[in-house]
Amino acid sequence: MSLARRLANGLMHLVYPGICPVCDRAIDIEEKLPCASCRAALVADAHEACPRCGSTVGPFANVEGGCVICREVTLHFERVIRMGPYEGLLRDVILRMKHAQGEVLAELVGQLWFDKIGPTLKQFAIDQVVPVPLHWWRYWRRGYNQSAVLARVLARGLGVPLKKRCLRRVRATPSQTEQTPAGRWQNMRGAFWARASSDLRGKTILLVDDVLTTGSTCSEAARALRQAGATRVIVAVVAKSRD
């Protein structure tokens, strides 16, 4: 176990001694967290996913140029790498990450995630890792940005810089869950700005978020990164939600 993983593991055991932070089952204090059955369930993605938008597709679907859901949609990122669909245990764990002690849980989930997707990510020769920022008031209410924690774990695993302040959310956007799909795209237009000092020119960026729904948030963030000079934007999300 890496030092960061040992620390997160130890911290979680301190907060919830002998309890798996994902399924609440009693486990041995020495056990690696989350418990073995949760670890297996979280990384098991039973379905094929569209490489362009991360949607679940059938085993024989033609995903050349995207799937039926995304083929007609303009996306400013090139590819989506997901841990799994937004359902079951993965959904539960993402909701838990938004609450107290979520930061340590995000660290543990991030490490599990990197174990799974690290080899795929390395093929893209990522230069920098950028989290999707929260608007300041949401950050203030939650106390941390789960995407930034996940991005930090991936950057550390890849051995590349984490650019936490590269993107700025220039306006608060109404909650995406209350929007229709068309409204979500409208809602996100111009929501991000990449700082001029970010040194993005010619770079391949890994953009990290917890959940991807229509892709409008990540696409707008990717647009800002590319306007600032980034050549390629690859998206990594813990879960792809259908709506």
Rule CB under 5 A: choose which of 67, 148, 166, 238 binds Zn ion: 67
Q: What's the min distance (Å) between Cβ of 22 and Zn ion?
A: 4
Q: What's the min distance (Å) between Cβ of 60 and Zn ion?
A: 15
Q: Which is nearer to Zn ion, 94 or 148 (CB)?
A: 94
The window from 69-77, 97-105, 209-217, 219-227 that contacts Zn ion (CB under 5 A) reads 69-77
If one asks whether residue 158 binds Zn ion (CB under 5 A), the answer comes out as no
Q: Return the structure tokens found at 150.
A: 């996940």
Total of chain residues touching Zn ion, rule CB under 5 A = 13
Q: Which is nearer to Zn ion, 145 or 217 (CB)?
A: 217
Q: What's the min distance (Å) between Cβ of 80 and Zn ion?
A: 8
Q: What's the min distance (Å) between Cβ of 55 and Zn ion?
A: 5
For residues 1 to 40, the per-residue mask of contacts with Zn ion, x marking binding by CB under 5 A and - elsewhere, is -------------------x-xx----------xx--x--
Strand partners, 169: 192
**d(C-alpha 160, C-alpha 124), whole Å:** 12
Q: Which is nearer to Zn ion, 89 or 139 (CB)?
A: 89
One-letter amino acid of 48: E
The window from 65-73, 84-92, 102-110, 116-124 that contacts Zn ion (CB under 5 A) reads 65-73
**d(C-alpha 3, C-alpha 218), whole Å:** 31
If one asks whether residue 52 binds Zn ion (CB under 5 A), the answer comes out as yes
Q: Which is nearer to Zn ion, 3 or 46 (CB)?
A: 46
If one asks whether residue 235 binds Zn ion (CB under 5 A), the answer comes out as no
Radius of gyration of the CA atoms of the chain, in A = 18
**d(C-alpha 47, C-alpha 84), whole Å:** 8
Q: Which is nearer to Zn ion, 87 or 122 (CB)?
A: 87
Residues 110, 94 contacting (CB under 8 angstroms) = no
Helix, strand, or coil here: 28? Answer: coil
Q: State whether the Cα torsion 119-112-143-99 is positive or negative.
A: positive
Residues 234, 126 contacting (CB under 8 angstroms) = yes
DSSP per-residue string spanning 52-73 = TT--EE-TT---TT--TTTTTS
**d(C-alpha 135, C-alpha 188), whole Å:** 12
Positions in the binding site for Zn ion (CB under 5 A): 20, 22-23, 34-35, 38, 50, 52-53, 55, 66-67, 70
